[in-house]
Structure 1
């Protein structure tokens, strides 16, 4: 077996639901609660940003008010890019629920991928609402449609940290 094939097969097993089922226990239900928390946080951030846009609109004699058209989407994309694409690889809601996102081979997502993940989520929810959630019932890693497309996995962060600590100490 070549070195390339060996490294590829080890990356494929980064989050194996059969070897480590604890990584995926309760992920689906906690993800729903995390979504509600994140929606609340984004709403608060949008309200704060709308005050700034109002002040900008007054100082620009009404021109700044045009930003209201893109404000909620912009706030949500920036929120996802800096939290999900940040060092903790999770949004505030995901952190509260003990979840984090990883790429299929174990790496943390980067800001652009986090923003695309959010856009693909909105797109899939608006077109295929019930079917997006049904995909997770048949996925061994409890991934949604946009997770499958982008190659991301949502896992239990506490178990992952403990597992990583335990195996790095043994090595």
Structure 2
């Protein structure tokens, strides 16, 4: 897209659930399945990183074993930062479920925002219990509490791509 098209695209309210309901069709349920897929992927990456840390611990005479304390958190943060904050604006689970994340004005999230997004998610769920997820039932764009705070929205990838192609 050219700068002029991007600027026009950003000014429009393309994420309006009334004028574009197809962007939000089934987002809530697919987001739940994407979470579980990502949980499995993060677990596998953590297991692989655990093997690397084991050998690092052996070579450093036990000093590397200290990394086990932060390993799951570090793997999850890196995974989300580089997938959700990457060029496709979605984690592997979100891609499998046909979802992507955008900022409220249409831009893709960047790695720091993606990391803050996952930190706010875990913080809100830990502090406010999973009942905080009920916010999506009352949000017109099916956004969760951390989405509202950060100004992000999760949409259907295929519907969004069709809309962008129609604009070009």
Runs of at least 5 residues in structure 2 that lack an aligned partner in the other structure: 1-6
Runs of at least 5 residues in structure 1 that lack an aligned partner in the other structure: 1-6
The residue that corresponds to 2:45 in the other structure is 45
Tell me if 1:89 matches 2:89.
yes
1:43-74 deviation line (CA, Å, top 9, x unaligned): 00000000000000000000000000000000
1:89-138 deviation line (CA, Å, top 9, x unaligned): 00000000000000000000000000000000000010112332110000
Counting only pairs closer than 5 Å after superposition, residues 26-105 of structure 1 correspond to structure 2 as 26-105=26-105
Contact 2:31 2:97 in 1 (8 A): yes
**Structure 1 stretches (4+) deviating beyond 4 angstroms?**
none
Contact 1:136 1:143 in 2 (8 A): yes
Tell me if 1:144 matches 2:144.
yes
**TM-score of the superposition, structure 2-length normalised?**
0.93
Aligned length: 161
CA distance in structure 1 between the aligned counterparts of 2:158 and 2:12, rounded to whole angstroms: 21
The residue that corresponds to 2:15 in the other structure is 15
Give the match's secondary structure for 1:101.
Answer: strand
Measured after TM superposition, the shift of residue 12 of structure 1 is 6.2
Contact 1:81 1:111 in 2 (8 A): yes
CA distance in structure 2 between the aligned counterparts of 1:138 and 1:108, rounded to whole angstroms: 25
